[in-house]
Chain A
Amino acid sequence: MRQETGTRWRPRIRQRKAIGRGFAALTIVSTLLGIAMLVALLVDVFGDGAAQVDGHFLTSYPSRFPEDAGLRSALLGTLWLLVLTAVIAFPLGVGAAIYLEEYAPDTWLTRFIQLNIANLAGVPSVVYGLLGLGLFVRWFALGRSLIAGAMTMALLILPLIIVASREAIRAVPDGQREASYALGATKWQTVFRTVLPAAGGGILTGTILALARAIGETAPLITIGALTYIAFDPSGPMDLFTVLPIQIFNWVSLPQEGFSELAAGGIVILLIVLLLANSIALFVRFRLQRRFD
C-alpha cells in the first residue's frame, strides 16, 4: 500500500555518526580559537615588551626620554586601587548577595531589584566615571584621590560581584542549610558557618574576575580626573594617582620613537599583575575547597 518510500525511516548510521563527529570537531575548533587568540596575544605582547621589563623599568618614574622612563607610580597606583576597590566592593557585594538569596522575601520589589542589578552590570564604564566625578570627586569633595577612584571602581564592579556571589550561594544545596538548622544553629550562624564557606570558592572567583576588570579599565578613571604624569609614590588613600592603563595609553599616544615599546612593556606588567591576582585567588579557592569537601 505505502508508496512514499522516501519517508521510510532509514538508520544511515554512518552519516549520523559523521555529523556527530563534525559537531565535536566544531566545538574543538571553537575552544582552540580562544586559546590561539590568547597565545597570539601573549607572544605578540611579550615579543614587543619583554625586553623593556627590568628593574629600572619597574622602579623609575615616567620620563620624556624613553630610555629613562618607568612605570613605578602607575604600578603602585594600580596596586593601591586594586586593594582599596576590593576592600570596598567585596563586603558590599557579598552582603547584598546574602540578603537577596537568604533573607529577601520573594516579592515584586525583590525581583525588581534583582533585575536592575543585572542591568547595572551592563552599564558602560564611562557612565560610572561621570557618576564618580559628580558624587565622590565633587560632592564628597574627595578630589582626584585614590579613594575616589576606588569608590568609582567599586560601583562599577559591584553588580558583577553580586551576581556571581548569588550564583555561588544558590549552588549550596538546601540539605546543608537544613542540617545546620537541625543542629540548632540560628539563621545567621547557618549563613556564616555553612553557606558562606561552601560558596566561598565561587564568590572569590567572581570577585577576582570583577577586580581584573577594574584594573584594566581606563575610561572611568580618566573621567574622574586621574593624572597622566606622576613622579611620586602615592602615600595614602587621599593622594593623587595614576594607573597602568592610563600610563600605557599615554605612551601609545606619544609620537616619538621608543614609547610604543614602553607601552608593550607596560602591558606585560599589567598582564603579570592580573595573572598574579588570579593565581592568588585560585590558591585561596583550592585551600577553601579542601577544607569543605
Chain B
Amino acid sequence: MAKLTRRHVIRAMGAGMLGTGAAGILAACGEPEVVIKEVEKVVTKEVIVEKIVTVPAPAGPMTGTILADGSSTVGPVTQAVAEEFRTQFPEIRVPVGISGSGAGFKKFCIGETDISNASRPIKASEIETCQSNGIDFVEVPVAFDGLAVLANPANDFADCLTVAELQKIWEPAAEDTITSWAQVRDGFPDEPLILYGPGVDSGTYDYFTDAIVGEEGASRGDFTPSEDDNVLVQGIAGDRSATGFFGLAYYAANQDKLKLVHVDGGDGCVAPSAETVNTGTYQPLSRPLFIYISVPAAERPEVQTFIEFYLKNAGTLAGDVGYVSLPPNIYDLALKRFNNRVTGSIFEGEGAKVGVSLEDLLS
C-alpha cells in the first residue's frame, strides 16, 4: 500500500499535478521547480505509455463505434483510455462526449450511448428511465477524485474549515444571510463572502451538496456557477475574499494562484492529496468516479474488449490525468463485476453517497 501511494505521488508530480506535502515544498522553491517538472514530465509520458497493458484480441476483425458521454470530470479518463486503446485497436472508434453526469444519463437511459461517464452514482429517477427503456447497466468505479475547497492566496485566516462551517456557507438558508466571513467563525474579518462553484448539472455539485449540506442539489443560489472550472479558478484568484470548490485536478494545475483550504471532517484538518484521497482520510470530500456500461452494448465484442482494456489501464491513466487510482484489487473486482454482468447500482439509486468503501460494496 505504501509503495502504491509513493508511485501516485511521483506520477502526480510528473503530470504537473501536485497536492502532497512533498509537492508543496517543490512549489515553494520557485525557479528550479519548473526545471524538475519538465524533466519529470518527459520521463512520465514514456513511463506511462510503457505501463499500458494490452489485452488479448478476440478472433475476427475488430471494428465498430463505442459511444461514451457524460461527466466532464470522468471524460478525461475515458478519453485517455480511448487514446491508448486506439494504438492497439485502430479500427475501433471510441468517441467521447462531455455533457455532465445528469445529461449523460439522459442519453444513456434512452439507448443513445454505450458508456456513461459519471462523477456520482446513478439516481433512482434515472434508473427508472433506464428500466422503462429496457436498458440494464453495469456500474464500475474507475478512479477517486477529491473535491478541493479553495480560497484566494491573500486570505490569511481560512486555513481550515470544518464541515459545519462549510455547511453554514453553502446551505440554502445562507442565501442573502451569510454574507460575511465574520459570520462563518468568530474571529474571521468582516469581509464579503464571494462564492464560486460548479454548475448545478454537474456531479461535482451534487456530490458537494450531499457531503456538506446533507441534501443532494440543495445549496444557496447566490453563488457564481460555471461548468468551466477555469472560470472558477479565475474568479477565486481574482477576488481576495472569494471561496469555492472544484475537483482536485484543477487545483493542482493552478496552485500558484489559489490557496487550498484544509477540511475538518471530524478527525482534524486534512489537506486533499493523492494519499489522503486514496486512504479515505480526506473526508467527506473524496468520491469515486464511475462508468456505466449498457448491457445491450456489452454484448458486442468490441465493447467487452474496451472495458477490459479500460479496467486494466485505468490505474495508470487516472493518475495521469490528475485523479487518484483505485487500489488494484478494486479494478479486478470491477472487471469481475462486468464479466459476470452484475447489473444495477451498488448505491441503490441513492445518488451521491459520502465516504463509501468500494471494496465492501463490490465484494
Contacts and interface: CB of A to CB of B under 8 A. Distances in A.
B169 to A, nearest CB: 24
Contact of A240 (B67, B107, B320, B322): B67
B133 to A, nearest CB: 13
B97 interface: yes
Contacts of B166: none
B145 to A, nearest CB: 13
Contacts of B203: none
A257 B253 contact: yes
B99 A225 contact: yes
Given A222-B99, A225-B112, A255-B322, A231 B82 contact: yes
A227 interface: yes
A107 interface: no
A229 interface: yes
A254 B228 CA distance: 9
Given A225-B99, A229-B96, A253 B230 contact: yes
B95 A227 contact: yes
A257 B257 CA distance: 14
Contacts of B228: 252-253
B16 interface: yes
Contacts of B94: 231
A254 B230 CA distance: 8
Interface in A128-157: 143-144
A63 interface: yes
A229 B93 CA distance: 10
Contacts of B45: 65
Nearest to A223: B99
A252 B230 contact: yes
Interface residues of A, number: 24
B315 to A, nearest CB: 16
B302 interface: no
Contact of B83 (A64, A254, A255): A64
Given A227-B97, A231-B93, A253 B16 contact: no
Contacts of A222: 99
Contact of A228 (B75, B112, B320): B75
The B contact surface, by secondary structure, is mixed
Contacts of B233: 255
A110 interface: no
B312 to A, nearest CB: 18
A242 B227 CA distance: 19
A106 B83 CA distance: 60
Given A64-B79, A65-B45, A227-B69, A255 B250 contact: yes
Given A64-B321, A229-B75, A231-B86, A255 B254 contact: yes
Nearest to B254: A255
Nearest to A64: B80
Contacts of B95: 227, 229-232, 240, 242
B272 interface: no
A30 interface: no
B146 interface: no
A257 B16 CA distance: 8
A116 interface: no
B322 A228 contact: no
B15 A228 contact: no
A250 interface: yes
Contacts of A63: 83
A227 B68 CA distance: 9
Interface in B87-124: 93-99, 107, 112
A156 to B, nearest CB: 20
Nearest to A240: B95
Interface string A190-232: 0000000000000000000000000000000010011111111
Contacts of B99: 222, 225
Contacts of A64: 76, 79-80, 83, 320-321
B204 interface: no
B93 A256 contact: no
A65 B87 CA distance: 15
Interface string A21-46: 00000000000000000000000000
A176 to B, nearest CB: 52
B2 to A, nearest CB: 28
Contacts of A228: 75, 79, 96-98
B252 interface: yes
Contacts of B334: none
Interface string A90-114: 0000000000000000000000000
Interface string A237-251: 000101000000010
B76 A225 contact: no
Interface string A159-183: 0000000000000000000000000
Interface string A247-277: 0001011111100000000000000000000
Given A231-B83, A232-B93, A256 B16 contact: yes
B72 interface: yes
Interface of A: 62-65, 143-144, 222, 225-232, 240, 242, 250, 252-257
10 contacts: A64-B83, A228-B98, A229-B75, A229-B82, A229-B97, A231-B95, A253-B227, A253-B228, A255-B322, A256-B253
